Structures are given as structure tokens and as C-alpha cells.
A and B are shown apart, each in its own frame.
Chain A
């Protein structure tokens, strides 16, 4: 059992839970994730380890509540527990040893960028983060990233930081030159746009993929992605890959596999549907 020691609402649908997981807190590396199962009958959900406190033995999980499972997870309160957390899973981030890195985070992806920036900062790499959200209330992890380098905030509506997409700000920074590597995490269209943006600049670009997973150890193959025409398992070969080689269409497409199921589960959970309740 993993007790929740603190809980914070980061944006209208993003919640941070700090939970006890001492072993994982001690050994996790940037880019790694855990599989979380709230309790009996719950799904196994892959979540990036957004931060860790080895002394307190806790890890930070940042959850965007979209489906039934994530909504139930963020409904847990401080003092309550998550039954299963396994990890750390996945390959650690390929962290450069010196130079300048551009970290781009969109929405909840910013929480995934955070540990990468931590790893880079620890190496002495100069980090510039470009993070974005629809409007001010959707911007997360700004202060945490400010501790690790420069931060440029973008909002779609201009309610905070600069108006526009993260790609616009990223383009300016790339044009100014000096960037050795780009890390981008966010919705699939954003990662695709960043990869397309950096390609002509010839800057190595790493993206973190979030396909559907079950076990997270290479056993099921549900997280198949194509990298340079080759099938890889995101859970063991990734989740981070060369953004210039990722088949984003396939990723987006496979992510839609259970769309109808999710809608059904949601309507069941909010009481508007009776399927499965009669027995």
C-alpha cells in the first residue's frame, strides 16, 4: 500500500499526488515511470515519476483526470492509499552531459518534462523550458522548472506569458541558435509539431510517448509504437524515442483504441448509464 502524503490541484484537471514509494524514490531516474493500480478491479495506469523525495521516500504523480480510472485516482485524499505501484519502469532519459537543452512541455506533459530538466540541470546542462497551456490556469510546474533554468510560458489565449503555441516560442529559441538537444512532451500533435520544427534545424529531439499499456514490463506488447519503421515496445524500449523517427499517426491512432469503452465507463461512473449495474 502506498499512502498519499500530499495532494495539490495544479490545473482544472491536473492533480499532483505525492505518495509513499521509498524504493522507487531512491532509485528512479529521469524519464522513468511507474504502473499504478488504485485497488481491486482498477486499471493498471502508467504514470511518469514527475519528482521524487528520496529522504521522505515519496514520489510525485501528476494525473490528468480524463477517464474513470484517472478521476477515481485523483479522488483519493491525503492519508488514503494506492494499492499497487510498480517500478521504476522504462529506460532513463538520454541526458546530454554539457551544452544547452530546450525542454518543451505541453499541458500535463510539462510534469514529464520536469524530471528530464532535473536530470539535465544536475549534469550542469543549461536548460531553457518552454511550457504552455490553454490559459493561465492550465500552466503547471512553472516554479519547479524555474529552479532549473529559464522558463518561457505560452498560453493559447495570451492570459499569461506570451500568447501563442509552444512551437512559436521554441522556433525563436532554435533560430537564435546554440541548442544541442530538444526534449518535448505533450499531446501527440504538439510533439509532432516540435519534431517537425526541429528537423530542419538538425537538432536531436527526444519525445516521451504515452501509448496504452497493461503490464509495463514488455509482456503484453500493447504499447507498440513504430520508430523508424521498426516496432518497439514503449514500456521497455522507451518511453522516450527519437522524435524524428516516431510514427505519430500510428501513436495517435492506437491511443484511440478504447475511446468508446472510455466513454461508456465514464457514463457508467457518473450514473447516466446503467450498463453493468444490474445484477
Chain B
């Protein structure tokens, strides 16, 4: 759709009965066979007509439950109402006022466990496709521009944001809107954090992240790349030059399985595998200089979104067999339902109730397999999930030449090591209250460095809440 397409006339007002009769619209997708061999986006986006039809399905609840399911509290019925009436600029303004990165969240949020889970239409039938609609409105706004968000007068206060990922970028946007002078310090050469190094092109095109970042810099946010807080500057140094700091440097340290053979050639952390392919564009090697091992048989250990990203990446790089190795069943996998579904369509194999014991290699120290054992589900553990129990004598070797370990990440101590006064928990995560306030005055933190590895939208929620708290803090300290 382009800017000069006339908006369809506002549809006639539908009765609730008519609205209830509309079935949930399907997201057009790239054909599964074709897409398993390319890195282009899988979901193609709704057309304006279909989006408006889907928007009609929202019955505009007086007490919208969906909003409470959203970590950034997007006023969902409001933007959908604008959309259903064909008022796209209105829908865009409403959405962008609530959410700094809607093109991103419309693509990567686990809507089925957040807004859409609470949608009343889901009680009987399928919930409104809130994620699809968010993506539609956000993409429309990106293509057609929108009024820039109103900006407060400069406050003269300087805020440093450590980390240019979802939490940091969201906070930066909000703080700039409030009139503060914001500088984001990003450790890598490109801002976006997990949005550029972790989430693959086929799920979130990098161009979209670039444009979202551009929107922030247009709003006055300064972004300095290649600055590692903890190395290039210490936290105490930043405290001297800024009135407040928001730490959102993520949970960037990969966790390995700690099994024999894990340092063989062909074993990657999901972080390394995805960073090579996404940030460094190794899928274009040798046109891009960074290589990646393209396995014939790739085993990805783990069941989260990152594991799905890795296994689908392996398939696209040309793996004949790309498998998920997970010690529980599909039902317990923490990955977003759509990702699992897409992976299945693309021919990913699922080795369920299987736990790795050892990475096996040849005399040249290349991976040749993953020695595993079969599991069965026992009693529920602390997380409420039934814990896997090994079946004696069930060991077998899964043939593979690349293993990607995707069992989580933990806090990177680079920054916190330069500031011992900053209170951490046992896992090395920064302790912060619900507003992101840490043990140090003026220092706030949010996202994975506080929560441990979580989702983009939870990090964004932290960014938004902390920005509010920082704004209040700066006003309270104003001379």
C-alpha cells in the first residue's frame, strides 16, 4: 500500500451480532517450502481491507481485558476502533503514543499469552488478531509517516541509557519525549540489541529495526555505538556526567550445557550462531566476510523462541535435517506458538523428551553427533512444569555436524564488575524495584539484566516504566 492509495470509505456501523459473525482473518504467509530456503519475512502482513475487517471483530469492551495483558499497556481497543473506522492516521497516533516500537512488537510479541489470551472473543472462538492489527497500523505509519509525537520543552537533564536493545530504546524514546537529553551507549556496532543480533531477518527484517531506530534519533535521541560500559566507560564515570542512568544491557552471557565435547568444532551458543547469521549476515558469505558453519544435520538444544530462531535459521542455511532437542514435550516448550507452528511447516524435526549427555566428535575434533537419553515426564517442578526424568538404558546418538546450544543466557558481569556498590541478586542480575530503581540513587535498570532472559515486550515494558520513574526522579531533583 502506498501513501496515495485513498483510504476506503468508513464502513457502516456493524451491529454486535454482525461483528461476532466475522471469523478471525488469516495472516498471509510465504509458502513454507519456498521460505525454508530464504531469509525473507515469513508473515506478509494483512491488506488494509482485511485489517479493517479484523478490526471489526473487536467488540470494544467497556473493561478491555486485553490492555491488562500488555506489558506496555497499549490502549488496544482505541487504536483498533480508529482502524475499524478507516482512520489510519488516528490509529497510528494512538498506537505510537503507547508503544515506541510497534513494528517490532507486532511481529515478535507472544500475543497468545498476553493481550490475545485475555480477549473476550477468545472465550468462544478465536481472539481478535491484535498482533496482526498492531503490525498493520505500525507498518502503515512507518510507510506513510505520521505526526511526530509531541515533545516537551528541553529540561536540561542528561540521561545515559546503557544498551540499545528493546528496553533501552523504549526508555530513550520516552525520555526524549519528556524533554531530556538522552544518549544511548551500545556495545555492538549497530543499535537494536537482540532485535539485530538475535531475531532473524525472516521474523523481523533489519530494515524495520533501522527505521524504528531512525524514528528515535529523529526525536533527538543520541546513539553511540561501540561503547562498552564496564570497559570504555565505567558506571561511576557515567554517574559523574549524567543526571540519571538507565541500565538495560541485557542478559548477554550464553549458558552452555556443561557436558563433555562441548568445545568441539561445530558447537555454537545460540548467541554466536544467530549473531553470525543476523548481525554479521553470514548467510551471505562470502559477500559478507563473517562465515558460519552450514551443517548438513543441525541439532538445536532448547525449546524457547531463540531455539526456534536457530533451528529455522539452520534450515534456511541449507541443513538437510534441522532438529529441536528438548527434554520435555512440545506442550511445555516456552516458544511462541506461531514459531513452533512455522518451524513444523518448514520441516523442522522435533526430538522431544530427549536430553543431551555428550557431544561426540571424530579424530579431527569435528562434531559428529549428540549423545542423548530419552526422558519421561515426572512430577511438576517449582515452575509448575512436569520435570523430565531419565529413562535408564535409553541412550542413543543423534547424528549431527553442528550443535547449537540454546538453553538460556545469564547476566554479563562486565558492567556490574565496575560498580561493586550496585546491588545484585545471586544470579548476578541487578536488583531493581517495580519502577526500575536500583540500590544507587539515579541509577535505574530494566530488561533482561534485571529479569534474566525474558521477552522483547517485557523489556520494553520495563523501559517505559523506568522512563516514567526517571522523569519523576529528575523532576524531584530539579534545582
Contact = CB atoms under 8 A, between A and B. Distances in A.
A135 to B, nearest CB: 31
A88 B471 CA distance: 32
Interface string A231-254: 100001000000000000010011
B284 to A, nearest CB: 8
Contacts of A275: 286
B263 interface: yes
Nearest to B268: A222
B45 interface: no
Interface in B51-96: none
A87 interface: yes
Contacts of A153: none
Contact of A87 (B228, B285, B413): B228
Interface stretch (A4-12, A35-43, A174-182, A198-206): A35-43
B256 A276 contact: no
A219 B412 contact: yes
B225 interface: yes
Interface string A92-116: 0000000000000000000000000
A87 B231 contact: yes
User: Do most interface residues of chain B lie in helix, strand or loop, or is the interface mixed?
Assistant: loop
Interface in A238-274: 250, 253-254, 256-258, 261-262, 264-265, 268-269
Interface stretch (A46-54, A55-63, A140-148, A210-218): A210-218
B107 to A, nearest CB: 23
A89 interface: yes
B444 to A, nearest CB: 22
Contacts of A258: 291, 293
A13 interface: no
B166 to A, nearest CB: 16
B289 A86 contact: no
Contacts of A236: 412-414
Nearest to A231: B263
B215 to A, nearest CB: 22
Contacts of A24: 232
User: Do most interface residues of chain A lie in helix, strand or loop, or is the interface mixed?
Assistant: mixed
A80 to B, nearest CB: 18
A23 interface: yes
A214 B265 contact: no
B189 interface: yes
B269 interface: yes
A214 B232 contact: no
Interface string B3-36: 0000000000000000000000000000000000
B290 A253 contact: no
Interface residues on A, range: 35 or more
A220 B254 contact: yes
Nearest to A252: B365
A20 to B, nearest CB: 13
Contacts of A250: 263, 365
Given A86-B227, A214-B276, A261-B291, A219 B286 contact: no
A44 B276 CA distance: 10
A226 B225 CA distance: 31
Most chain B beta-carbon contacts within 10 A, residue among A23, A69, A85, A219: A219
Nearest to A89: B231
A221 interface: yes
B275 interface: yes
B232 A265 contact: no
B186 to A, nearest CB: 10
A126 interface: no
Nearest to B274: A220
A41 B287 contact: yes
Nearest to B288: A41
A192 interface: no
A215 B188 contact: yes
A88 B290 CA distance: 22
Contacts of B263: 224, 226, 231, 250, 254
6 contacts: A37-B189, A219-B197, A220-B272, A261-B291, A265-B285, A265-B286
Given A218-B412, A236-B413, 19 more contacts: A27-B232, A43-B290, A44-B290, A68-B289, A69-B289, A86-B188, A214-B275, A214-B280, A217-B252, A219-B412, A220-B272, A222-B269, A222-B272, A256-B265, A262-B291, A264-B286, A265-B286, A265-B291, A269-B286
Interface of A: 23-24, 27, 37, 41-44, 68-69, 83-89, 214-215, 217-222, 224, 226, 231, 236, 250, 253-254, 256-258, 261-262, 264-265, 268-269, 275-276
Can you list the 5 inter-chain pairs with the closest CB atoms, starting with the nearest?
Answer: A220-B272, A261-B291, A86-B226, A84-B189, A43-B289
